Amino acid sequence: MLADSDYDAGMSRRRQVLGRNHVAQAEADKTPFDSRFQQYITESAWGAVWSDPTIDLRTRSLLTIALLAALGHEKELAMHVRATGQTGVTAEEVREALMHVAVYAGVPAANRAFAIAKRALAEAAAVGGSQKLE
């Protein structure tokens, strides 16, 4: 098991990237069935990986977007595209990450990811969280 500090760092980074409301809702939705999983992703993904200073937040965000797009994880892709307002990633940088997906993971994956990213950016712009892709 990871140290409590990984959990605390993970919760802090998770709030910073996804927003306090998102994390509060995820915590409120937690049940005994998935609480261990929520603890695991908070410690591992957000505490040990996202909180490591070796790669800056913008780069981590772009890596995550490209990987989620390439793997077809649509819900998580939309969530991380909406979070670009907190990570400093521009809509143009999202576009370029998805162009990389087209070359390295295939046009069908990128085509779907572009549609998801356009919706997510529009949603974020509507609430003032990010800019819309021109």
Give the span between the Cα atoms of 91 and 99, in whole angstroms: 12
Domain ranges of the chain: 4-49, 57-126
pTM here is: 0.90
* CATH architecture of the domain formed by 57-126: Up-down Bundle (1.20)
Helical packing angle, 107-126 and 57-71, nearest 10°: 130
**Number of neighbouring beta carbons within 10 Å of residue 2:** 15
Residue-wise pLDDT for 34-84, tens only, equals: 999 999 999 999 999 999 999 999 999 999 999 999 999 999 999 999 999
